Each structure stands twice: as C-alpha cells, then as structure tokens.
Amino acid sequence: MTDLTDNPPAGERKISFQMVQTASVLLLTMALGFVCGIFRTDSFLTGYNLVENLLVNAALMGIIACGMTFVMIAGGFDLSVASTTVTCSIVAVLVLQAFGGDPAVEGSQRAMEGGQVAWAIAAAVGAAVIAGALLGALNGTLISYVGVNPFVVTLSTMLIFRGLAFVISDRGQSKRIPFAIQEHFRRFYWGEMVTFGSGRVEFSLLVPVVVFAVLFAVCFYLLRYTRFGHYVYAVGGNENAAWLAGVNTKLVKAATYVIVGACSALAAVIYCAQSSTAQADTNQGLEFQVITCVIVGGTPLGGGAGSLLRTLNGLLLLAVIENMCTQFGVGEEYRKIVRGLIILVVVTVDMLARKGARN
Amino acid sequence: MASGRMAATARVVLAAAAACAGLACDGEKGGAGSAGGRKPKYKIGFAMTLNHPYWNNFYSGALDEGKRLGVEVMITDAQEDAGKQIVQIKQLIASGIDALCLVPMKPDELVGGVQEANRRKIPVILVNRHIAAGADCRTVCYIGTDTYEGAVTSAKLLCEAIGGKGGIVEFHQELGSGPERLRSKALRDVITGSYPEVKILRRIAHQGKRPVVVEEMKALLGDPALSAQIRGVYAHGDEFALAAGQACRSRQRKDIAIVGMGGSKEAIAAIKAGLLTGTSYQQPEQEGRRGVRRAVELLEGKTLESVYLIKCPPITKDNADQYVGQF
C-alpha cells in the first residue's frame, strides 16, 4: 500500500496527511459556500436550498459513489453505472407493472390494497437490487476471473446495459408506475421524514438523504472495520502481495463490482420515484459525475488508497459548485467545462505528485 | 510526505481555480439575462432544453424579452431528460425565482416537478409542451405553438401532394415525448378522417440525428418492393425532412413528396429549390418571448387566459417567398 492510505488506522504521520487533505477539500467547500452565502444570501442560505435541494442531489449521486469508492480503492473503474441504473429502474417498474398493470395499456390496471402495494414495492426494490448485483457480477467476473481490462469491460457493458434497457422497455418507451402504486412509490424521492424550523430555515429531511446516510454508514463500517474492507485496500495497493498473503484477490475485486451494481440499483429506485417512470435514455453522463466525486475527494486512480469520507468531501464540494452555478445562473455548457476542468486538474496533480514521490 | 502535502494543497488550489474559471465564463449565453446594471424587478426561471437550433432561437427570445422588461431570466437545459429537469426545477426554486416558465420534457414525468413548484407557491406557466391531462397539479396557462394543428397542416400537405393515396414513411421524435404524441396523432387523425387510402409503411425514430434518417431512408429505398410503394415522407422536424430529401435525391427519387414541420431557414430554402414539398411554420422566438411576458404580467397582478396559441401556417413553393425562418 502507498503512503496515501488512511485505512487501516495509520500512524501520526499518515493521520496528519489525511487531515491536511480532508480539511483542505472541506475548507474549499466552505469557502465556496461562504462566497455564495455573501452574494446570494436570500436564496443560498435557506433550509430548502441547502437540505431539500443541495443535499438531496448530493445524496442521489452519493449512493452510487459509495459503491464506486470500493471499486476504485480496489484499483478498478466502472463506466457502466449509469447504464446499470437505467436498466434496474426499468426492471423495478416492470415488476410494479406485473402487480398493478401498465398505465399505457387501457384497462390493464388493477385496484390494489395496502398489503399488495407493499409486496409489489418490496418485490420491485428486491428485483432491482438483484438485477444490479448481477450486472455488477458480470463486470466483476470478466475483470477478475477472465482478466480483461476494467476500462474495456465497463465501456462495453455501458453500451450493452444501455441497449438492454432499450430492449426491455420496448425500444425506449417511457415505463410508468401503475397509478395504484405511484403515490406510495414516489415517497422514495419526495417523501418527507421530518420537517424542521419555519420560514427561511424551514426544511424537510427527505428519504434520499436518509437512504444515503444509512448506506454510507454501512459502507463505512464495511470498509474500515471489517476484514473484507482491509482486503479491498490490499488488493488495490498491491494485488500480487495480497494474493501471496492469502487474500482471494479475484473474489474481492469481483465483489466490489457487485457492490457498485447493487448501489446503482438502489439509486435507480429513487430515480424511478422522482418522475414515477423509468426510461432508457436518462442519466446520460452520470458515470462521469460519480467518478468525479470519488477522484476529487482524493481516492486516486490506481487504487490502494482513499476512503468514503474523502468521497463524501468530493461529493459535497461538487454539490456546492453545482448549486453555485445555479445560483449565479451559469449555463449547462459552462458547467460541463467546470466539471471537465476539475477532473483534469485533480488527476494531473495526483499523477505529478506520485511521480514526484517516486523521484 | 512533503510531496503528498503539496499535492493536497495543489489539488485544492487548482480545483478552486478551475471552479472560478468556469464561473468566470458566465456570460449572456450562460443562462441568465437581466437588465444591465439595474436590480431586476423579478426573477423568472425558464426550465427548457437546448438540444436543437429551435430551442436556441427560443432561448434568445426569452433572454431578450427579459432584458426588455427589466427582469432576470434564469434558463436551464434538461437535454430532454425528465429526471434532470425535475432537479433543475428544484434548483431554480431554491435560487429564489418568482415564477417558472416550463417546457416539460415529458408530460407525465414532470407532474412531480410542477407539484414541487405548487408546494413552494411558485406559479407555473407551460410553454410549447403540455403536462399530462388531469394531473394533480396547478399551472397558470399554456403558451405555445399549436403543435397538433401545425402537424395537421403538414399531414394534409403531404396527403394532398401524393393524391390522397399511397404509402408513406414517418420519421418521428423520441417515443412518448409530448410533440411526438401530438404529431403522430395528427397524422393518424388526418389519414383516418380524410385520406383512408394513405398507408403508413414504416415508423422510424430519427433520434434527433440527421445521419440516422439518411441511413434509414437509403435502406428503405434500397428495398425494391418497399421502395416502389413509398410516395411520401412525414418527418417530425424540418431537419429530418431535409435528411430524407437528400437520401431520396441520391437515389433519384424526385417523385417522393416530403414534408417537415418547423419552418427553418434551411427548410424554406429547400422548399423554394423543390427538395421539400412543404412545412408548417413555427415561431420559437415568439414562444420564449411570450412566456417571459406572460410571467411578468402575472406577477404584476394581471389575470391571464388559460391558453395562448401561436398558429402554424403552411409553407409551400407558392408562398415560401413570404416567410423568413426563425432558426
């Protein structure tokens, strides 16, 4: 493992480095927030903007970024997460339609009672997560056991899964959640857990934020306090050394892809709830946004280092920048430039730093 | 270790520089326009898409009207992605808009977005596209091209041009989008109502790409049995009618009548040159402009009507000289 590793718990020197890095990204996030707070006080510093808008957007991306962190620490890469997400969202809606009928077909919808709705939702979420895990397992098998380059495998499956999504949705038709289930299912995105404050500071804690918080805690525990988590770092740091030490490196690597697949499926459920539909051509470019979060946070390409806290940092930084762009009316074309510049700068600096360290 | 610390610091400094550089790029085309220097009276959100020249013209109209009326217009580009537009609506609400002009990417999917605006007490004006009929949400009014009537105009032009009988090919937009539904319905209504001997041989999604239409049209014309039956082409959009026209010309099939919809500069020139049979004339610049104007009127306390339609007259070789395309 390189000296960038902050897990397992390291000595004073490493903690000090970790603190510098984590604090610096946090400071930048706060500085940008401060600028926004000064120039856009009325609209930026509101409960609605910070919690219901900024945090919810970050949470949706963060759910996939949690899985991506595992893959990248293990030295991998996954370009197929957006395609996995749309495929799983269509699977979820097709399962719901199997219970409640297809709203696009006249007379096919059925009335449903509370218990049936709950079963349908549980089946849809379960089917989506299983589908996501299977798609991830396919990536993992090809990369770990067959030995194909992760970039090539996930670039191919990005196209294959997107195509699959078009096939199972009748050439890209918008698949709607049955009306009897819609009102319940949409709570995965719009549902308010609890409302705080009043007036400008009033905000509701929405379900995506809670789902992300729980998933983050589980993943954090897995990565930091379990043997599997340590193996993930070991595989990313030096696969041969890990293998010689008795780690089943192939299984560990494959498992990280299963995790990101399942996380993508969980995000898919929330995306479905957002618009009460699933469609094959949505979430284009999501994979790059997720990878940006992880890299900007400080998990390097090549693996062996990084942590979920760093991903959270990257996530918040990018969410603040996105929010800032909206607050200042920056158009989509310039946002693309901002995102691209951030990735380019961060990866270049990482590469130069590693080169410097070697010399 | 020192290089590691340097890397961390450099990462932060450069990411900040990158972010600031991006923000510094903000200009007129960046999405927000307001009366120069003065504090704008109102802030109006315009949630739309910018993936076609039609929308760029629409965008210019909205921004220009905002400047003229002294209001700030914040424009977002959803790139036809309904989920993305819902997020953008929330962002616009969070940035403190007084009214929302919305071009819904999909009629059913955007109901949640309109409900969110309703919950935050932001009035919603629909422009160019409709929200699902009977949806549990409130909108103030609809402003826009009469898409259905425009498509009926194009469909009638085509059916008349082929003598009321024969096979046609339809190049349609993304399945399920509002305009696709209306334009497909218009063609079927015209055929069922007045030209029952016209038969739709193929329905092909143009995917918003001219090369797709050229390839598909060439493939259709390459099939001798099918090619002999094709008398006309009904394209959802002038660009795609032009692409079909080029494919027909490459196969020496000047007998195939081709109609589009939109009335772009290029299409009007092609009608004059005889490549296209006709089109229906849309005015995107006016749609953007009127959306902002009605929003300001609403915020100033005026009562609006529920529908403001902009007509789409036919353009053929006979009257093409009278029109100048808006995009």
Question: Residue B102: beta bridge partners?
Answer: B47, B126
B11 shares contact with chain A (CB less than 8 Å): yes
Q: What's the pTM value of the predicted model, to 2 decimals?
A: 0.76
- Band of the pLDDT at A17, cuts 50, 70, 90? low
Torsion region of B237: left, alpha or beta (phi above 0 gives left; psi -120 to 50 gives alpha): left
Interchain CB distance below 8 Å, B11 and A24 = yes
A1 or A51, which is more confident: A51
Fold of the A12-358 domain:
ABC transporter involved in vitamin B12 uptake, BtuC (1.10.3470)
For residue B267 the two structure tokens come to 């299409």
> Is some CB atom of chain A closer than 8 A to the CB atom of B76?
yes
How far away is chain B from the Cα of A348, in angstroms, using its nearest Cα? 9
Tell me what pLDDT residue A358 has. Answer: 65
Q: Which residues pair with B76 in a beta bridge?
A: B47
Could you tell me the pLDDT band of residue A18, with boundaries at 50, 70 and 90? low
Please check whether the two domains, B28-145+284-311 and B147-282+316-322, share a CATH topology. yes
What stretches of B37-177 show up as alpha helix (H) in DSSP?
A: 53-69, 82-94, 111-119, 147-161
Please tell me the distance from the alpha carbon of residue A268 to that of residue A129, in angstroms, as a whole number: 9
Nearest to B176 among A173, A274, A344 (CB): A173
Write down the CATH number for the domain with range B147-282+316-322: 3.40.50.2300
CA atoms within 13 A on the CB side of B293: 13
B4, pLDDT greater than 90: no
Give the contacts of B271 (CB within 8 A, at least 6 positions apart).
Answer: B277, B278, B279, B315, B316, B317, B320
**Cβ contact (<8 Å) for B112 and A275?**
yes
Q: How far does the CA of residue A56 sit from the closest CA of chain B (Å)?
A: 9
Amino acid B209: pLDDT: 79
User: 3-class DSSP state for residue B101?
Assistant: strand
Interface of B with A in 143-202 (CB under 8 A): 174-176
Is residue B96 left, alpha or beta, with left meaning phi > 0 and alpha meaning psi from -120 to 50?
left
Quote the pLDDT of residue A4: 42
Fold of B28-145+284-311: Rossmann fold (3.40.50)
Look at residue B315 and tell me whether its pLDDT is greater than 50: yes
Task: Report how far apart, in Å, the C-alpha atoms of B167 and of each of A282, B159, B199, B233, B275 are.
Answer: 34, 10, 5, 9, 19
Query: What pLDDT score does A239 carry?
Result: 92
Query: What is the DSSP secondary structure assignment for residue A32, as one 8-state letter?
Result: H
Out of A162-176, A240-254, A304-318, give the one with best mean pLDDT: A240-254
Return the closest-CA partner of residue B113 out of B133, B131, B89, B132.
Answer: B89
Across the beta sheet with B278-280, what order do the strands follow? Answer: B198-205, B166-172, B230-235, B257-259, B278-280, B314-316
Q: DSSP label at B132? A: P
Domain ranges of chain B: 28-145+284-311, 147-282+316-322
Over 80: is that where the pLDDT of A198 sits?
no
Q: Do B22 and A28 touch (CB under 8 A)?
A: no
| Chain length of chain B | 327
Name the closest residue on chain A to residue B111, using Cα atoms.
A275
Residue A190 is nearest to which of B76, B112, B120, comparing CB atoms?
Answer: B112
Query: How far apart (Å, rounded) are the C-alpha atoms in residues A159 and A83?
Result: 7
- Mean pLDDT of chain A, nearest integer: 86
- What is the widest separation between alpha-carbon atoms in chain A? 72
Rounded to whole angstroms, the Cα distance separating B318 from B255 reads 18
On whether the CB atoms of residues B240 and B264 are closer than 8 A, the answer is no
Query: Which residue in the set B4, B75, B110 is minimally distant from A17, CB to CB?
Result: B4
Name which residue leads in pLDDT, A207 or B132.
A207
> pLDDT tens digits for A136-174?
999 999 999 999 999 999 999 999 999 999 999 987 778
Q: What angle do CA B14, A316, A10 make, to 5 degrees?
A: 80
DSSP secondary structure letter of residue A275: H
Q: Average pLDDT for residues A279-292, to the nearest whole number?
A: 88
As given in the structure block, the two tokens for residue A204 are 């509701």
Establish, for the pair of chains A and B, how many residue pairs have beta carbons separated by less than 8 Å: 203
B213 or A215, which is more confident: A215
* Least confident stretch, A102-116, B6-20, B77-91, B308-322: B6-20
Is the link from the previous residue into A8 a cis peptide, with omega within 30 of 0?
yes
Is residue A36 predicted with pLDDT exceeding 80?
no
Nearest to A277 by CA among A102, A65, A83: A102
* B3 contacts: CB under 8 Å, gap ≥ 6: A353, A356, A357
Residue B176 is predicted with a pLDDT of: 64
Per-residue model confidence (pLDDT) at position B29: 39
Contact between A3 and B1 using a beta-carbon 8 Å cutoff: yes
End-to-end distance of chain A based on CA atoms, in angstroms? Answer: 18
Rounded to a whole number of angstroms, the distance from the CA of A143 to the nearest CA of chain B is 30
In angstroms, how far is CA B88 from the centroid of its own chain?
18
Please tell me the predicted confidence (pLDDT) of residue B125: 96
Flag if B12 and A28 touch (Cβ within 8 Å). Answer: yes
H or E stretch including B46?
Answer: strand B43-48
Share of chain A above pLDDT 70, in %: 90
Are A70 and A220 within 8 A, CB to CB?
no
Question: Domain limits of chain A?
Answer: 12-358
User: A296 with A26: CB under 8 angstroms?
Assistant: no
In the block, which residue shows the tokens 């900040």? B16
> In B, which residues are within 8 Å of A300 by CB distance?
none
Closest chain A C-alpha to B273 CA, distance in angstroms: 36
Nearest chain A residue to B85 by CA: give it: A275
With CA atoms as reference, report the closest residue to A161 among A132, A184, A189.
A132
Is a pLDDT exceeding 90 seen at residue B141?
yes
Name the burial class of residue A173, with classes exposed (0-12), middle (13-18) and buried (19+) by CB atoms within 10 angstroms of its CB: middle
Is the Cβ pair A334, B1 closer than 8 Å? no
List, for residues B256-305, the tens digit of each pLDDT value. 999 999 888 889 999 998 889 999 988 888 899 999 999 999 999 999 99
What pLDDT does B108 receive?
84
Find, among A81, A91, A33, the residue nearest to A61 by Cα: A81
Centre a 10 Å sphere on the Cβ of residue B301 and count the other Cβ atoms it contains.
6
Round the average pLDDT of chain B to a whole number and report it. 84
Residue A7 has pLDDT above 60, yes or no: no
Q: Are A268 and A286 in contact (CB under 8 A)?
A: no
Q: Distance of CA A139 to CAs A165, A215, A284, Å?
A: 17, 22, 19
Q: Per-residue pLDDT tens for A299-311?
A: 888 888 889 998 9
Residue with tokens 């949505």, as numbered in its chain: A282
C-alpha–C-alpha distance, residues A9 and A220, integer Å: 13
The closest CB to that of A13, out of B1, B11, B14, belongs to B1
Mean pLDDT of the B78-105 span = 91
Which residue type occupies B321? Answer: D
How many Cα atoms occupy the beta-carbon half-sphere of B23 within 13 Å?
18
Mutate to test the interface with B, among A19, A54, A317, A330 (most CBs of B within 10 A): A330
Pairing of strands A277-278, B43-48: unpaired
Phi-psi region of A75 (alpha: psi -120 to 50; beta: other; left: phi over 0): left
Chain B residues in contact with A40 (beta carbon < 8 A)? 95-96
Contact (CB, 8 A) for B140 and B125: yes
| The pair of three-digit structure tokens given for residue B240, joined into one six-digit string | 């795609």
**B105 in Cβ contact with B78 (< 8 Å):** yes
Task: Give A66-100 pLDDT, tens digit per residue.
Answer: 999 999 999 999 999 999 999 999 999 999 999 99
Instruction: Indicate whether B70 pLDDT > 70.
Output: yes
